[in-house]
Amino acid sequence: MTATRLVKISPIRTVINVVAKRLAGRESVGEASRVEGFDAAQSFQGDTAEHNDDRPRGDEAETLALLSEFAPGRALELTIGSGRIALPIASAGIRVDGIELSPDMISGLQRRAADLEVTVGALEGDMTTIHTGKRYPLVFLIFNTIFNLLTQDNQIRCFENAAHHLDPDGVFLIETDVPSAWTSAYSYVNAENITPTSVELDVCKYDPITQIFDENHVRLDAAGAHFRPISCRLAWPAELDLMARLAGLRLRTLGWLEARTLLRRQQAPRLDLRPVAATERCCASK
């Protein structure tokens, strides 16, 4: 145990000291805070992949209409999943490719595509690094999936990879919740569903320094306890804006009127990101 000496310091100095201590020795912010044993590649396999789209959000038609405005003929979805959005877009005649970490999600996507008699391309891999070898008028990443990347560095790499896939006048569209929708307290338990024979709980913990949000959906029933853990790194719109600029993109926020079709649980307005010419990168402001 080390001795301590009390000194009068400003609140901001205290915060800086805490940050320095919490992050000392880490290569990437957030890596030490995830749910112990959590592996994103394994968390979207098996039953999770099989039933991922059993409960649609209800905004699929509006989402399709918005995305179609920016996708004249083809689009790329990062973390395409089992095709909740990609398959309706493909059915509308737009060629959709996707990048997906989970092989089980890709298998489900291809089965559903075959049933609908549409073609959707999917590459298995990390959306921060893998490249399809093509460019697109639209790259999109929706439903908070950027938060699945647990370090700021990887979230920036995702923006950079999206930029590398864009046509010269292409658009990167990203959808996220505002973090305050998830973080009413730094730790809490919500009862999501209660029946005479089961209880479903949402058990959460948030670290405001690393911005890591650890969550476990717990179901208690006659068969026992069932767990679905996940870790996310939350980011505010202002931080996403900076990531876009670091990737050589210029921010244009869609108005609330245009964005309202995708709003859910205080979700942020969509970010419409266009590449900036090299001569503009140092001075673009809007």
Under the banding of pLDDT at 50, 70 and 90, the label for residue 177 is: confident
- Residue 132 scores a pLDDT above 50: yes
- Residue 227, domain extent: 180-233
CATH number at residue 197: 2.20.25.570
| 274 and 164 in a common domain | yes
- Residue 95 scores a pLDDT above 90: yes
Range from 211-220, 241-250, 274-283 carrying the lowest mean pLDDT: 274-283
Query: Can you tell me the distance from the alpha carbon of 273 to that of 88, in angstroms, rounded to the nearest whole number?
Result: 23
Q: What is the pLDDT of residue 2?
A: 41
| 167 and 111 in a common domain | yes
- Residue 83 scores a pLDDT above 50: yes
Q: Is residue 212 part of a domain?
A: yes
pLDDT per residue as tens digits for the range 150-163: 999 999 999 999 99
Q: Is residue 83 part of a domain?
A: yes
Q: What is the pLDDT of residue 266?
A: 40
In the chain, what is the straight-line distance between the N-terminal and C-terminal CA atoms, in Å?
52
| 133 and 218 in a common domain | no
CATH number at residue 259: 3.40.50.150
Average pLDDT over residues 259-274: 43
Pick the most confident of 45-54, 67-76, 269-278: 67-76
| 190 and 97 in a common domain | no
Domain count across the chain:
2
Average pLDDT over residues 235-241: 90
| 138 and 69 in a common domain | yes
Question: pTM of the entire structure?
Answer: 0.77
Q: What is the pLDDT of residue 34?
A: 60
Q: Is residue 138 part of a domain?
A: yes
The pair phi, psi for residue 182, each rounded to 5°, is: -105, -20
